[in-house]
Structure 1
């Protein structure tokens, strides 16, 4: 079980680090343009817009990229406390992504990667917080020859 949790943590952390790096580096022109357009839409439905704050789409993309990159790396290589903090940050990020996609009335198939990542992050969090099962140690009964004879007499 512990090996499966380590593998899940490494895979999730690597995935988020790579997606964060992709948002920051913008290697391919068509993908970069598509991501810019997506973050323009995300900025329009940003949750804090209700209180008057609307982020610049490029700053929003950069902030999300750095958060994904750093939290993903900490999830893989950080000490346990920082792994838990990065898990919480990535969970909040995925909840925000799902909120944004729902606000834009995107199809469910568009939201599936964020939903799966959110579920795996929650699974990782639950399994790390649950205490390890206690091993029950039973003492063997000692049979003394005198006690054994007395019962048969």
Structure 2
């Protein structure tokens, strides 16, 4: 079972790494990168901290999310356990933000599915990690 969770962690980390790369450069997929650039204009309009007076510039917002996904994805896949847990938390926050944004924009439920699945897998890895930590402390 541990091998299954390790494989899931690596695959999910690599998925986030690839997802972040697409946000950072048009060399991976120019069409997707251009589409994301236009979507992040809408995403910036409904940014959760806008209520507190902070509204990100869409290009910087795209870059920031891209870098968080690239770095956190690599650390989730290949980092030491502490950095895996921190990366898991960072990616969980990004996925919650993605779901919030899509719901506020009243996008179809199908648009929320990838972020929801990723969030579920991140939470599964987090629970699995917690169970291992609690088990080893009680022994």
Task: Normalising by structure 1, report the TM-score.
Answer: 0.84
- Residue of structure 2 in register with 1:86 after alignment: 87
Distance 1:32 1:8 in 2: 26
- Residue of structure 1 in register with 2:73 after alignment: 72
Larger Rg: 1
- Residue of structure 2 in register with 1:103 after alignment: 104
RMSD (CA atoms): 1.4
- Residue of structure 1 in register with 2:9 after alignment: 9
Q: Please state if 1:37 is matched with 2:73.
A: no
Deviation string, structure 1 residues 61-90 (Cα, Å, up to 9, x no partner): 000000000000000111100000000000
Unaligned 5+ segments in structure 1 are: 134-153
Q: CA deviation at 1:52?
A: 0.9
- Residue of structure 2 in register with 1:25 after alignment: 25
- Residue of structure 2 in register with 1:142 after alignment: none
Q: CA deviation at 1:2?
A: 0.4
Unaligned 5+ segments in structure 2 are: none
Task: Normalising by structure 2, report the TM-score.
Answer: 0.92
1 or 2, which has the higher helix percentage?
2
Distance 2:91 2:32 in 1: 23
The alignment covers a number of residue pairs equal to: 134
